[in-house]
Amino acid sequence: MQNDMTAKTKQLMNDNPFLRWAVLALVALTMFFAYMFVDVMSPLKSLVESNLGWNSGVFGKYAASEYILNVCGFLIIAGVILDKLGVRFSGVLSAGLMVLGAGIKFIGISDWFQGTALCGWLGTWWVEMPASAKMASLGFMIFGCGCEMEGTNVSKILAKWFKGKEMALAMGLEMAIARLGVFGVMWIAPLISDKFGGTISAPLGFCGALLCIGLLNFVIFSFMDSRFDSQLVEEGFATEEKSPEDEFHISDLGAIFRSKMFWIVALLCVLYYSAIFPFQRYATNFLEETLALDAAAAARLFSCFPILAMCLTPLLGIFLDRVGKGATMLMAGSVIMIACHLSFAFLLPVFPQKWLALTLIVVLGVSFSLVPAALWPSVPKIIDEKILGSAYCLIFWVQNIGLCFVPMLIGSLRQNTGSYLVPMIVFSCFGVLAFIFSLLLRVEDRRKGYGLELPNIKK
């Protein structure tokens, strides 16, 4: 009987290394394109301000718009869709929303839009926000719904296809590939803009076209995953109809909200990422002012941020799979982030050297490896599989609350103080709070035995 079960197990698609890593490639490339689109305007902030008439406050509101609809409840709905309708439907829907949002944003910043009746009407209310910023923000809202939903969807896909295998490595590689998008767009966006006469629409259109390829990737994945599900049914690992005990119910959301570990992880997540992603929006401009660089040179310098993260995250995934120590990695990553942001606030302005800035940027990338590499593979250890999609979405929902309001806060502080000193101190404070919650996570893991310090691969 044991040999028969072993034979059956060998027939599953995810036991074929080529197929499961092909799935990783398809979904990771989609997130790579999404990350490029998220930050395509970050290295062009000075150009945006001169060409479109935005200021730092407007730019902060635009950056925050990516998360507004998610904060208003879309991510909760997305979690229900994911657990009720599955990763295939959710994946194609998410990719489609990203393409739609990208199209609207492209229209908003294009030159021909400026003379339209819609542009004129948008300019008649909330006049401190230019019409182009309103239209771009609307597109960014829709894109943000798809991007965040896809991020949670990808986590559930990898948890499914790499269950009992190299899950942390797979998630680490996916994050590394996605971050390569940040590196790439910091170089590509200024180059494309210069090639087309200093326009913003050209790099935006290029990244939007890549999102269409990402949508095609998920269509291909859907065929593969459909066959995988059929195999699971054929081999007796799943049934066509879920039993009442296994089926997701809306009431299951209450179990997530009542979980102490969920709130520790969610608050750790929002605090940590609030000191990373909003910083990315302003990093190029911060380096321009602090080091007296032009926008392209500052963007190239900051592009080094994800390099070490890209290299380390898969290695940390291997370490987490085979050795463990996830909670400890979260604590170490938070400490490194605190040190880097304090150095940006106080050390770099006193010694404005490119080598020092590069060192701090790369070291911050180490933190950006440690925390995500340990955080996301830990969630399946504390949340039941049938509500895993909703759990990821709710964590992202809490995270989006911070990512929505922090850019507006930073933009306002930058506008009112005229410097980046206070914003960098704020980022450091987020790091301190993230460390406290990482410490609480480790204490709770020791008390309840969730296995966050244990390896993922079961021998």
User: Under 8 Å CB-to-CB from 419, ≥6 apart: which residues?
Assistant: 289
Sign for the pseudo-dihedral over CA of 241, 245, 246, 248: positive
Would you state the pLDDT for residue 236? 64
Spell out the alpha helix ranges (H) of 70-123: 75-109, 117-122
pLDDT one-digit tens code per residue, 202-234: 999 999 999 999 999 999 999 988 888 888 777
Percent of the chain with pLDDT over 70: 92
How sure is the predictor about 350, in pLDDT bands with cuts at 50, 70 and 90?
very high
Please give the average per-residue pLDDT across 435-445, as a whole number: 90
Instruction: Tell me whether residue 195 is exposed, middle or buried, using C-beta atoms within 10 angstroms of its C-beta: 0 to 12, 13 to 18, 19 or more.
Output: exposed
State how far the Cα of 48 lies from the Cα of 54, in Å rounded to an integer: 7
Please give the average per-residue pLDDT across 185-202, as a whole number: 87
- Residue type at 346 in one-letter notation: F
Please give the average per-residue pLDDT across 164-181, as a whole number: 80
C-alpha distances out from residue 69 to 65, 74, 84, 86, 136, Å: 8, 6, 21, 22, 14
Would you state the pLDDT for residue 251? 66
Tell me which H or E stretch contains 296.
helix 295-302
Would you state the pLDDT for residue 32? 93
- Sequence ranges of the domains in the chain: 17-235+248-448
Please give the average per-residue pLDDT across 275-279, as a whole number: 88
State how far the Cα of 21 lies from the Cα of 48, in Å rounded to an integer: 39
Task: Determine phi and psi for 296, rounding to 5 degrees.
Answer: -65, -45
pLDDT one-digit tens code per residue, 304-327: 887 777 777 777 777 877 787 888
Q: Which of these, 38, 374, 394, 383, lies nearest to 175 by C-alpha position?
A: 374
State how far the Cα of 455 lies from the Cα of 171, in Å rounded to an integer: 14
Please give the average per-residue pLDDT across 131-144, as a whole number: 91
Q: Which residue has the tokens 């799935």?
A: 23
374 within 8 A of 330, measured Cβ to Cβ? yes
The pTM is what? Answer: 0.71
State how far the Cα of 371 lies from the Cα of 270, in Å rounded to an integer: 12
Residue 77 pLDDT greater than 80, yes or no: yes
State how far the Cα of 369 lies from the Cα of 179, in Å rounded to an integer: 10
Would you state the pLDDT for residue 245? 40
Decide which of 168 and 356 is more confident: 356
4 within 8 A of 235, measured Cβ to Cβ? no
State how far the Cα of 357 lies from the Cα of 363, in Å rounded to an integer: 10
pLDDT one-digit tens code per residue, 388-433: 767 777 887 888 888 878 888 888 898 888 888 999 999 999 999 9
State how far the Cα of 58 lies from the Cα of 55, in Å rounded to an integer: 5
State how far the Cα of 168 lies from the Cα of 348, in Å rounded to an integer: 35
Would you state the pLDDT for residue 121? 83
CATH entry 3.40.50.300 includes domain 17-235+248-448: no
C-alpha distances out from residue 51 to 34, 133, 207, Å: 25, 12, 20
Separation of first and last alpha carbons in the chain? 21
- Residue type at 1 in one-letter notation: M
